[in-house]
Structure 1
Amino acid sequence: MKTSRRRIRSFRDITHGDVDLRRPVVTLFSGGLDSSYLLHRLVQAGATEVHALSVRVGGDESLPHLRRIADAMGVRLHAVDRLTAFAEEFVQPAITAHAVYLDTHPVSSSLSRPLIARTATELARELGAEVVLHTANRSQNTLRRLDGALDQLGFEGYFGSPYSLEPVDRERKIKELRSIGLDEMAERSASGDSNLWCREFESGALDDPEDHAVPESCFRWSGVREPDPSEDVTVTFRRGVPVALDGHELPLATIIERLNWRAGAHGLGRHTGLEHLPGGVKVLEVREMPAAWLLLASRRHLETATLDAELMREKLHMEQLWVREALEGRWFGELRAACQAFITQAVAPVSGSVTWRLAGARTSTTSIVADAPRYVRSREEWEAASIRDELSCLGAASQYENGGMQW
């Protein structure tokens, strides 16, 4: 475990600590208000080699927008494509683990943070940087997830968020960025985070759980438009993992991307939920996750069709252990790895397909086909066969009792 001396928690830690601003500094960069302001403060502090890292995982960030801000600051932009790794190394395990937070919403940013931290660590080591910075604050769970991942990855330098102990109010950030020609930052009324698996909104206009009407303009995949009245879609799984859409084998990232638009067109996949911060305080988060909604529901149907009930009960418990470790920033820890090993073994029989009729609020399954099913397709036939088997056993027992059989 790193000592607190190497944790960055304020801007003072950067300017009045042991950080050498003549060496390369890596900072995570989304193009939003907080990360843009951090670049501005680093340049003001005299950092001579700032590297702004954008890890591309299928989010909404515009590359021209990121370049414009980086150029305005005079820093170097690193836009690194990690979409395939995100889908296969982080979303895929979450699907098999049915990673849903306390039965309210699928986990989302918890999946991207360890990958972002890993990418930042790799870049810092490549550049010889001794500092990795991010911009999460105390009201964001990202703070402990990024710090936890950087710690578990063994980053040797300084890391953390200067907003942790030294928040800066929104108006000041906007004013200072406007002074260098970045006027567009004032337009953002809520904080957003997006990736292939989820688009998430929080803070600002969405702070109050008791009054949080979400502007329709926030939504993209499930935004109001005219879908087909109904359409069928079939998802095929192998060992608990989605492998095909409508009979065509596709990479997982492609399956998710297509389902986001197809299921989203029917208004599916919107989630609102409260998530805990350290100390037990709850904060509101709104998510748009059409593909996640459909894929998790489909896999659970197939799991029910193929697994023993007792195994499923134990897996339900293991799923929440898995979720807790991911949420608390311990993705690279031993307990999540142990949970994953159990889950991977448990879902080995979960192969087959689920067909849905997408029709808005009337969406429902029309077919569940398991490769190795435990279900019956005709109750009457099953009952008749079951009675025959039981009578046959009773008859054998009667013959034994009468001495008609030698055992």
Structure 2
Amino acid sequence: MTKKIVLAYSGGLDTSVILKWLANEYGCPVIAYSADIGQEEDWDKVREKGLATGAAKVVISDLKKEFVRDFIFPAYRANAIYEGSYLLGTSLARPLIAKEQVRIALAEGADTVSHGATGKGNDQVRFELSYLALNPNLQIIAPWRIWDLNSRSRLVAYAEKHGIPVPTANKKYSSDANLLHISYEGDLLEDPWNEPEESMFQWSVSPEKAPDKPSYVEIEFRAGDPCAIDGEHLEPLAIMQRLNRLGAANGIGRLDLVENRYVGMKSRGVYETPGGTILHIAHRALETITLDREVMAIRDSLVPTYSRLVYNGFWFSPEMQLLQRTMDDAQAQVNGVVRLKLYKGNCVAVGRKSDNSLYAHDFVTFEADHVYDQGDATGFIRLNALRLRIQALQRNK
């Protein structure tokens, strides 16, 4: 028998209906829990609505610092990018939200957790894999997989019947926002031929309307993590906030992507990731002068696996822990400064320097040098071609 439920609650239509439905169906206290991970919300109104909808208690957790320090930065040390494009804004947030939900369940004596993810998406997997990895004794209720309120009209009817305020604005797109990104799905985006409406974007200026003069920014890294902007040392949260403002003002970080969901279907999403895009490009640029070639090759070969694990919800798995240690070990020498030029949606590294730089001017110069014997290349080439020569001789017999 269910004694007490902790619901991951946003205050929107879906989770408001779920809150009332859980209380009615299970006849037990429901704690509405909201995670502040950088989305702009009126948290007083969220609290008021949760209590008015029937929550026994509303808990709002400020997780912004933890999100940047323990989730965004580790993933960006690994250059995590899903299917070559997606910088994992939603994927990185879900395990943190679930982790705090499990903590609250323990603190409040709850035996059950619940979420508002649908049975078609990735989030149900991300939430529940995290719950099960952190506390397998908790019961899990996923209303979208068991109730008959399977359309917006039914949700609205249920809300009106139970006195739950229904948003008056016609929200065309399903969106998710946090410190790393804003995502958009649904409506005209469901046809991958349709171009996104400019009015949809909430964060960034369009590249066409971005300033006609480029902006420059210098980012300093220590062991793969950004630690300063334009010479000013900042905490991780402040770094993300500043890069977001800078990127958004220059139209940087928009992405239109058809991705493969873990459950098997393809999905079209549009994203705004201004600060994350700048950070990703800067980090890769610094690695070009600080990482050994073979270390970079091995690390890069692991990035798709790392990214899939994040996307599919395996943040708390043993294989993820192994990969994170490997990624972090490769970052020991990734120290230095990158200068970037931001202009109308483009972010280009135009300078990089490091005390750990492996770039040796004396060896690479086109001018005369005294350290490299170009004649050595003859033997190098012939030995590397030996197996090719043998194959050619065999074919020509």
What secondary structure does 1:367 align onto? strand
- Summarize the Cα distance change of 1:101–1:214 in structure 2 as closer, same or farther, 3 Å threshold: farther
Which AA in structure 1 matches 2:354?
A
Q: Which is further off, 91-100 or 273-282?
A: 273-282
Q: Give yes or no for the alignment of 1:284 onto 2:268.
A: yes
Partner residue of 2:119 out of 138, 141, 158 = 138
Structure 1 CA distance for aligned equivalents of residues 182 and 263 of structure 2 = 26
Partner residue of 2:244 out of 229, 246, 260 = 260
Q: Is the 8 A contact 2:204 2:250 kept in 1?
A: no
How far does residue 237 in structure 1 lie from its aligned partner after superposition?
Answer: 0.5
Question: What's 2:391 paired with?
Answer: none
Structure 1 residues 350-361: aligned runs within 5 Å: 350-361=334-345
Question: What's 2:89 paired with?
Answer: 108
- Summarize the Cα distance change of 1:356–1:177 in structure 2 as closer, same or farther, 3 Å threshold: same
What secondary structure does 1:124 align onto? helix
Structure 1 residues 41-56: aligned runs within 5 Å: 41-45=21-25, 47-56=27-36
- Summarize the Cα distance change of 1:49–1:280 in structure 2 as closer, same or farther, 3 Å threshold: closer
Partner residue of 1:152 out of 107, 111, 133 = 133
Partner residue of 2:14 out of 22, 34, 40 = 34
Q: Which is further off, 274-283 or 325-334?
A: 274-283
Map Cα deviations across residues 286-345 of structure 1 (whole Å, 9 max, x no partner). Answer: 111011110000000111111122211111111111111112211111111111111111
Structure 1 residues 238-257: aligned runs within 5 Å: 238-257=222-241
Structure 1 CA distance for aligned equivalents of residues 296 and 366 of structure 2 = 23
Which AA in structure 2 matches 1:262?
L
Q: Which is further off, 143-152 or 213-222?
A: 213-222
Structure 2 CA distance for aligned equivalents of residues 81 and 72 of structure 1 = 22
Structure 1 CA distance for aligned equivalents of residues 43 and 312 of structure 2 = 30
Partner residue of 1:124 out of 105, 110, 113 = 105
Question: What's 1:9 paired with?
Answer: none
Q: Is the 8 A contact 1:221 1:265 kept in 2?
A: yes
Give the fraction of aligned pairs with identical amino acids, expressed as a percent. 28
- Summarize the Cα distance change of 1:218–1:164 in structure 2 as closer, same or farther, 3 Å threshold: farther
- Summarize the Cα distance change of 1:278–1:379 in structure 2 as closer, same or farther, 3 Å threshold: closer
What secondary structure does 1:61 align onto? coil
Structure 1 residues 389-400: aligned runs within 5 Å: 389-390=372-373
Question: What's 1:218 paired with?
Answer: 201
Q: Is the 8 A contact 1:260 1:291 kept in 2?
A: yes
Q: Give yes or no for the alignment of 1:200 onto 2:187.
A: no
Structure 1 CA distance for aligned equivalents of residues 15 and 347 of structure 2 = 40
Q: Is the 8 A contact 2:77 2:225 kept in 1?
A: yes
Q: TM-score, normalised by structure 1?
A: 0.85
Structure 2 CA distance for aligned equivalents of residues 47 and 185 of structure 1 = 30
Structure 1 residues 5-84: aligned runs within 5 Å: 19-20=1-2, 23-45=3-25, 47-75=27-55, 76-84=57-65
Structure 1 CA distance for aligned equivalents of residues 14 and 195 of structure 2 = 22
Gaps of 5+ in 2: 377-397
Gaps of 5+ in 1: 1-18, 394-407
Q: Which is further off, 273-282 or 284-293?
A: 273-282
Structure 2 CA distance for aligned equivalents of residues 99 and 146 of structure 1 = 20
What secondary structure does 1:368 align onto? strand
Partner residue of 1:232 out of 209, 212, 216 = 216
How far does residue 215 in structure 1 lie from its aligned partner after superposition?
Answer: 4.4
How far does residue 139 in structure 1 lie from its aligned partner after superposition?
Answer: 2.2
Structure 1 residues 288-367: aligned runs within 5 Å: 288-361=272-345, 363-367=347-351
Q: Is the 8 A contact 1:174 1:185 kept in 2?
A: no
Q: Give yes or no for the alignment of 1:96 onto 2:77.
A: yes
Structure 1 CA distance for aligned equivalents of residues 59 and 206 of structure 2 = 31
Structure 2 CA distance for aligned equivalents of residues 321 and 96 of structure 1 = 14
- Summarize the Cα distance change of 1:266–1:46 in structure 2 as closer, same or farther, 3 Å threshold: same
The count of aligned residue pairs is 373
How far does residue 55 in structure 1 lie from its aligned partner after superposition?
Answer: 1.0
